[in-house]
Amino acid sequence: MMSAGADGGGPALSTPERVVFSAGQIDRRVRELAAEISAAYMEVDRLLVLGLLKGSFIFMADLVRAITLSHQVDFLIASSYGAGTVSSGDVRLHYDPVTSLDGRAVLVVEDIVDSGTTLGRVLPRLQARDPSSLEVCALLHKRLDPADPAPRWVGFDAPNEFLVGYGLDHAEDFRHLPYIASL
């Protein structure tokens, strides 16, 4: 069944096609990542976990609740896809974290590295704010180009398909799905 897209700009599939990562698989992997992150930052004071919105909102919420170290949370809002399925290449920054990054250990949480454009634009901006360390945890990575940003932590290597669910959208639909599916 077809329905109008969220922006009213055309038809969108009402149901994703195929489950790629189930809720159970995601849950297990998020716990593993949180354990690795907790161990890696054991000696670090004042860890700041920075979620890249909107796509990371569910991953971020699950991850920070599973990290066993005391830490702080802030967000960054950037977008480049709009209603399309290909990055526009124009990364718009809607919100820059107000928290000072100076001297902080910063962990950026991203839902997916696709073309690598978003992280490629955002990371230098954050680095310029002098964190003591800057690492990335991405739930999904398509590994399309060896030159793409290489997060220290990756949940799953992802197929080169348009993925939705668990925070990822198509024209703002499907973010609420508890699993990740291919359109």
Any idea which residues carry the catalytic annotation? 114
Q: How far is the CB of 46 from ligand PRP (least distance, A)?
A: 25
Of 153, 120, 159, 160, give the one whose Cα is nearest residue 138.
153
Angle among Cα 63, 116, 56 to the nearest 5 degrees reads 25
Contacts of residue 8, defined as CB under 8 A and 6 or more positions apart, other chains included, come to none
- Binding-site residue total for ligand PRP (CB under 6 A)? 17
**Footprint (CB under 6 A) of ligand PRP, residues 33-72:** 52, 54-55
Where do we find the tokens 């609420």? 176
Q: Which of 37, 153, 163, 169 is the binder for ligand PRP (CB under 6 A)? A: 169
Name the 3-class secondary structure at 118.
Answer: helix
Query: Is 177 a binder of ligand PRP (CB under 6 A)?
Result: no
> What are phi and psi for residue 6, nearest 5 degrees?
-60, -30
Q: How far is the CB of 53 from ligand PRP (least distance, A)?
A: 6
Q: What are the tokens at 109?
A: 């949480």
Query: Is 113 a binder of ligand PRP (CB under 6 A)?
Result: yes
Rounded Cα gap, residues 42 and 30, in angstroms? 18
Q: Which of 25, 38, 80, 99 is the binder for ligand PRP (CB under 6 A)? A: 80
Q: Which of 67, 118, 154, 165 is the binder for ligand PRP (CB under 6 A)? A: 118
Query: Is 76 a binder of ligand PRP (CB under 6 A)?
Result: no
Q: How far is the CB of 120 from ligand PRP (least distance, A)?
A: 7
Query: Is 151 a binder of ligand PRP (CB under 6 A)?
Result: no
Q: How far is the CB of 130 from ligand PRP (least distance, A)?
A: 23
Of 131, 122, 110, give the one whose Cα is nearest residue 48.
131
- Specify the length of the chain in residues: 183
- Judged by the rule CB under 6 A, the positions of this chain that interact with ligand PRP are 52, 54-55, 79-81, 87, 110-118, 169
